[in-house]
Amino acid sequence: VRNILVENAGGPAILDEYKEHGKLTDSARRHLVNIVVAHITDKEGRVPSKETKTRCAFGIVTLFPSLKDPYSRTGYEHFYDPKSNQGYISWRLKTVSRQSKHHGGHHSKKDARSSGTSDSEGSGGPTAYGETCNHLELQLEGDQCKEAISFMNYCAEKDLIFEKMKATFKHRQFLIHDAAKSNTVLLVFPRFLDTKGLILQDFDVQFGTETASRLLEQWDSLKPKIIAEARTLTSTLHLTNLLSDAQGNSQDEGSDWQEWDSDMSSILLLAYLMPPSPGGRNKSTKISIREAMDHIVQFHKACRSLTEHINKSEGLQPHLLAVGSAKNIIHDFYIVLDGKLLPC
């Protein structure tokens, strides 16, 4: 790999960058892969052997140790995994092949070394779900999107994870709106499972910060109106307790009622205020308002295992899980989705 870089334009600059900083930027890494792929396609054509690709991947992480993946078996699978035939080298080879076909089958070094920015143009792969996010800028597509997704899976720096997740938002929307692929979102983007704040960021990106923050900004004026409307309803024991909590009145000691805090109680009052959905011709199973609230949020004692809640969860409907020492002392919230917990 060192010889390949020394003999090709741009290669010495990559070596100098690593020597000075001990790491490579994303653009330098892409350029490195482009140079290596250009070399092996010149030697073996558009379909180099598996041994050549494996040798190049091993050579890259040997020459640039900081690019090694500490969590994989060999450390170079993200450059080329011989079992799945995936990785940066494979993705670049596919791009070069597409470009060659687009230009009438005439392949050259110049085509192979084209910048990563042009790789995404007409290259297929991850594309935008344009109707939802035409306003977005700096969204990655094609090979760059695949590289960012692979990079995030092994990244330990939170700021970089947020940056790459924001840059791959359009591809995520594409998966969500594709019925055949919507169930793969958490497989493609597993950082949702261990990085708090990513759901909020996606919400901000999709609707804009102004719209996303509107409920919180107006909550102080909305909350009294919700309570006032709820007080006009026919009283029940559960409604009375919930209203008392919403107004910040503590329950008597020894009461069986375990209260939520004022804000959560006010939100749950909306279940009483919303009109019932029409049953239609097919008689649907009716549930009480109190049961409906369990479809919105459920409480879990902080001292107990979260796996315990997952194991007893039934149905496919996502819901909030509030974890704390008591209902009115919540430490963390999760979204329970498909048997998994997403911190939020």
298-301: which pairs have CB atoms within 8 A and are 24 or more residues apart? Answer: 298/322, 298/336, 299/258, 299/324, 299/327, 301/325
Instruction: Tell which phi-psi region holds residue 22, choosing left (phi > 0), alpha (psi between -120 and 50) or beta.
Output: left
Crossing angle between the packed helical segments 50-63 and 88-102, to the nearest 10 degrees: 120
Q: Would you say the C-alpha torsion 9, 15, 35, 114 has a positive or negative sign?
A: negative
* Contact criterion met (CB below 8 Å) for 156 and 193: no
| pLDDT tens-digit series, residues 25-66 | 888 888 999 999 999 988 888 788 888 999 999 999 999 998
pLDDT at 283: 58
Q: How far is the C-alpha of 261 from the C-alpha of 244, rounded, in Å?
A: 10
Helices 169-176 and 198-207 sit at what angle, rounded to 10 degrees?
90
Q: What is the pLDDT of residues 215-269, one digit of tens each?
A: 887 888 899 999 999 999 999 999 999 999 999 876 555 454 568 999 999 999 9
23 three-state secondary structure: coil
* DSSP label at residue 184: G
Dihedral (C-alpha) 147, 91, 76, 170: value to the nearest 10 degrees?
Answer: 20
Query: Cβ–Cβ contacts within 10 Å for residue 91, how many?
Result: 23
Residue 147 CB coordination number (10 Å): 23
**Ranges of each domain in the chain:** 1-119, 124-197, 213-274, 295-344
CB 266, CB 260: distance < 8 Å = no
Distance CA 105, CA 97 (A): 9
The type of residue at 296 is: I
Alpha helices in the chain (DSSP H): 2-7, 11-21, 26-44, 50-63, 88-102, 109-112, 116-119, 142-154, 158-167, 169-176, 185-188, 198-207, 209-212, 214-230, 237-246, 262-273, 289-294, 306-312
Q: How do the pLDDT tens digits run along the chain, 344 residues long? A: 999 999 888 899 999 999 999 988 888 888 999 999 999 988 888 788 888 999 999 999 999 998 888 777 788 988 888 887 888 898 888 878 777 665 554 444 444 344 333 333 333 333 334 444 545 668 888 888 999 999 998 888 888 999 999 999 999 999 999 889 988 999 999 999 999 999 989 998 888 877 888 888 788 889 999 999 999 999 999 999 999 999 987 655 545 456 899 999 999 999 999 877 665 555 566 788 888 888 899 999 998 888 888 888 766 678 999 999 999 889 999 999 888 999 98
Instruction: Name the 3-class secondary structure at 298.
Output: strand
Measured in whole angstroms, the distance separating CA 4 from the mean position of its chain's CA atoms is 36
Q: In what order do the strands lie in the sheet with 297-301?
A: 297-301, 319-326, 329-337, 340-343
Q: 332, 324, 319: which is closest to 304 by C-alpha?
A: 324
In terms of C-beta distances under 8 Å and separation of at least 24 residues, what long-range contacts does 132-138 make, across chains too? 132/173, 132/177, 132/206, 133/169, 133/170, 133/173, 133/205, 133/206, 136/169, 136/170, 136/205, 138/167
Query: Using an 8 Å Cβ cutoff, are 246 and 238 in contact?
Result: no
User: CB count, 10 Å around CB of 90?
Assistant: 20
- pLDDT for 258: 64
Joined together, the tokens standing for residue 341 give 């917990």
**Distance between CA atoms of residues 190 and 181, nearest Å:** 15
Is residue 60 within 8 Å of 30, Cβ to Cβ? Answer: no
Residue by residue, DSSP assigns 62-82 as HH-GGGS-TTSSSS-TTT-BT
